[in-house]
Structure formats: structure tokens, C-alpha cells
A and B are shown apart, each in its own frame.
Chain A
Amino acid sequence: SQTIHQWPATLVQPVGSPLSLECTVEGTSNPNLYWYRQAAGRGLQLLFYSVGIGQISSEVPQNLSASRPQDRQFILSSKKLLLSDSGFYLCAWNQGSGTEAFFGQGTRLTVV
């Protein structure tokens, strides 16, 4: 069966520090991968998605970037965090267009 792993679960980082969140999917190949951010009590905002290695689509201009160095690995990064980068970050995957998407457990990022 397929599983998605996201880490770390929580992270507290100072303003101006770098960020690296990692997401991996097991049990499937060539998944579509997604990074979402969720502000407290709010909906899901799509940040990036990828349909293949090295292919990244950005949805909103921001202080973040994404990379997909391997088929089942998706990384969210920042060179210098801002206070406004705080939030709940979720990785998701699906297989093909129009199919169900499955989410990781999320990373709670607090920038102080």
C-alpha cells in the first residue's frame, strides 16, 4: 500500500534562518506531488505542485521554493524565513489526473 511521510512534525525557527521540509511517498511511482499551506482555522492554499522529477509549478509568489530531486521526494525550502511563513504545511500526492489525493500528517512551522 502507498504511504506518505512528512517531517518534521513541528519546527520552530528564527526569522532569517533557512528551511527544509521533506516529503516522501512509498509504494507508488511517478506520483503528482503537492505542497499546501494552511493558516490557523483556514482553508488550504496550494503552494507548489510537481508532475515529475525536476518539474515544479509555483502557484503563488512567495519566500519559498520547492524541488523534486527524486521521483518520490518533494522538498520545500526557504533561504530566509519570514514571520509570515508560519503555518501548517501539508504534502499530498495523487496518481494521475482527477484521482484522489492523499495527505501527509503535516508540519507545524512557527517562525519566531
Chain B
Amino acid sequence: GQQLNQSPQSMFIQEGEDVSMNCTSSSIFNTWLWYKQDPGEGPVLLIALYKAGELTSNGRLTAQFGITRKDSFLNISASIPSDVGIYFCAGPDTTSGTYKYIFGTGTRLKVLA
């Protein structure tokens, strides 16, 4: 089945720094979703991407749908302490003919004040 590989698995950064994380797959995705999960909470949708090459921003967050449709990245500019959490990429499973979503393993972000 389809898999999504996220990197890095975790990262420590200083407040104010920019952050970049990515998500790759060996197969094509038609939609890329980026979520953030705070401790003890459900994931919250940050950005949805629907077209190859699409670049979308949400405040300090910017995400892009890779041209090959096999990757996506998420950038966070000028990080702040509340950016701490786990970031997941996800996409609908296009190989099984079902309504399932494939989730990456997550990037755990820790911001040092």
C-alpha cells in the first residue's frame, strides 16, 4: 500500500527560526493535507493542497504540492513557542479504491525560547 515518509522525525529549533519539513511517497497523491497535533488534542487541519505545483499559505505557514505529486513540504516562518507539536502530512489512498487516508509518521517540533 501507499506510504508517506516524513522528515525530520523531530527537530529542536530556536524561537524566531524558520522550519522546514517534508513528506515523500513512492506513489502519486492527488491531495496533500497538513495537520498539527497539540498534546492530548486531535489533529487540526492547517493546509490542504489539491493541484501539483500549488503553493498555499496560512499565516506563517506555507505548503507546496510537489510537481511530481510524490512530495510536499511545509514551512513555518519565524517560529514561536506555540508552534510546538506534531505535524502530520496525509493524503487519500489512491490505490485501494477506498475512502482511507494515509498518514505520515509525523514531525515532532520543539521550540526553544
Specify which chain B residues have a CB less than 8 angstroms from the CB of A109 in the assembled complex: none
Complex Cα spacing A100 to B105, Å = 18
Given contacts A44-B43, A100-B48, A105-B42, 7 further A-B contacts (CB under 8 A): A43-B103, A43-B105, A94-B99, A97-B92, A98-B31, A101-B45, A103-B35
A-B contact pairs, 15 of them (CB 8 A): A32-B99, A34-B101, A43-B88, A43-B104, A44-B103, A49-B100, A51-B99, A97-B99, A99-B31, A101-B45, A101-B90, A102-B45, A103-B35, A103-B44, A106-B41
Q: How large is the interface on B (under 10, 10 to 19, 20 to 34, 35 or more residues)?
A: 20 to 34
A90 at the interface (CB under 8 A from B): yes
Interface residues of A (CB under 8 A from B): 6, 32, 34, 41-44, 46, 49, 51, 57, 59, 88, 90, 92, 94, 97-106, 108
Chain A at the B interface: SS class: strand
* CA A98 to CA B51, docked complex, whole Å: 12
Chain B residues within an 8 Å CB radius of A92: 42
| Interface presence of B66 (CB below 8 A) | no
